Amino acid sequence: MKIKYDLIHKDKNSEARLGVIHTNYGSYETPMFMPVGTQATVKTLSPEELKDVKAGIILSNTYHLWLRPGEDVIDKAGGLHKFMNWDGPILTDSGGFQVFSLAKPKDITEEGVKFKNQYNGDNLLLTPEKSIEIQNKLDSDIAMSFDECVGFPHTREYVEKSVERTLRWAKRGKDVFNNPRQSLFGIVQGAEYEDLRKHCVEELVKMDFDGYSIGGTAVGEPKDIQYLQVEYSTKYLPKDKVRYLMGVGDPIDIIENVIRGVDIFDCVSPTRLARHGHALTKFGKINLKNAKYKMDFTPIDESCDCYSCKHYTKAYIKHLLNAEETFGARLLSIHNIRYLIHLTEELREAIKEDRTLEFREEFIKNYYGEHHE
C-alpha cells in the first residue's frame, strides 16, 4: 500500500508537527529518526537490535545495492526485506547523492549522470528511470525520485537550471514507476532561494507524490543556510504529506528542523561516530578513547534505556575500542542510534504539550554546557 500521513498535532508556537505515518509494516509516530543501512545492514547491528532501540523506518542506499550485490540478487531473494531479514518499513534513496559526489560536472547531462564504478572502474550511467527501476526491484516501501543534488557554494544561475532538471527528472521517474506496494517521494531542491524552493514545491505537488523530501542539505552548507533551506521548503509543502529531510542527524539540527516542520530524518552519523569511539550524550559528544575513562565504571548515560547503557561501563567500551574489538563499535552504535530515536520521542512529547521551543532551549543549554569535550 501507499504510505499515509496523519497530522496529529501542530505545536502552537512553531511549525513542529506530531504525526503518524502508516506503512506496509505498521504505523510509526513522527518526528522520527531513520537509522541508515547503506549496504542492506545497519553497520554492526542486527534487526533485533534495531527493534530494541525502537527503530521505525530504516534507510538503505540504491547506489550501493545496485553495485553490490546488484538489484537482481535482491529481487530474486524476494526483495530487500527478506534479503536482510527486516520486517519493518524501508526507505531507499535514489543514488543521486552518491553519484554526484563521484561524478564530474561535465558528466551530468539531461539523460542522467555518468560515473565510474568505484569497485571495478566500469563506466556507468544512472538515470531517473534506472534509479526507479532499481528501487522498484529492491521493493522498499518508500522510493526517492532521482534529483540533482547541488553542492555548496553554488551560483543562483546554476541552481535555477538544476531545479528545472530535477523537476523533469522527477516526472520521468514517476512515469516509469511501477511497484504498487511502494510509495514515491519528490525531492525539493532550490538551495537557499525561497522563490526557487517555492517553485519546486509547487511543480512537485502538481505531480502528486506520496511524500516530499528536502534535498540539497548535508552538503557542507552552514547551519543557518540549512535551516533557511528547510524553512523555505516546509513553508510551501502540503500539510497532509510527510516531509523528510535528507542526511541530517546532528541532535541540534534535528531539533531546529523539527521546529521548522520536518517529520523524518536520516544520517550515518550515529554509526560513524561509534566507529570513531564517540558517544552522544545530553551533555554533548564524548570520546570514549579518552584516558579519563580507563577506570570509569559507570555507563555512558545512567538514564539511557539502551542495551549498552544497561549492561556495560565506559571502561569496558574504552577497552574494546583500544583493543579494536568490533563489539565496541556495536555497543556505541546501539547507544547512539537509541540516543537520536529517544531525542525524537522527547520531541514528540514536547510537541504534544506545545513546548518545543522550551525543549530546544533546555537541550542546547545542556548540550553545549561545561561538560562538552
As annotated, the active-site residues are 93, 266
Contact call for residue 332 and a second copy (CB under 8 A): no
- CB closer to a second copy out of 42 and 347: 42
> What are residue 59's phi and psi, to 5 degrees?
-105, 140
Q: Which residues in 259-318 contact a second copy (CB under 8 A)? A: 294-295, 297, 311-313, 315-316, 318
**Would you list the DSSP string of 131-152?**
HHHHHHHHT-SEEE-------S
Residues 331 and 89: their CA atoms lie apart, in Å, by 24
Count other Cβ atoms within 10 Å, centred on residue 68. Answer: 11
Among 326, 349, 352, 358, binds a second copy (CB under 8 A): 326
Nearest distance in Å: CB 111, a second copy: 29
Ramachandran category for residue 183: left, alpha or beta (phi over 0 → left; psi -120 to 50 → alpha):
beta
Contact call for residue 342 and a second copy (CB under 8 A): no
Contact call for residue 323 and a second copy (CB under 8 A): yes
Residues 56 and 30: their CA atoms lie apart, in Å, by 10
**With CB under 8 A, what is the number of residues at the site for a second copy?**
35
Q: Which residues in 12-41 contact a second copy (CB under 8 A)? A: 39-41
Among 325, 358, 361, 373, binds a second copy (CB under 8 A): 325
- CB closer to a second copy out of 120 and 178: 120
User: Residue for cell digits 538515470?
Assistant: 127
Nearest distance in Å: CB 335, a second copy: 14
Q: Which residues in 58-87 contact a second copy (CB under 8 A)? A: 64, 68-69, 73, 76-78, 83-85
Nearest distance in Å: CB 64, a second copy: 8
Please, what is the end-to-end C-alpha distance for the chain in angstroms?
46
Element (H, E) at 68: none
Per-residue b or e along 294-332, where b marks 16 or more CB atoms closer than 10 Å to that residue's CB: eebeebbbeebebbbbeebbbebbbebbeeeeeebbbbb
For a second copy, the binding residues (CB under 8 A) are: 39-41, 43-46, 64, 68-69, 73, 76-78, 83-85, 294-295, 297, 311-313, 315-316, 318-320, 322-323, 325-327, 329-330
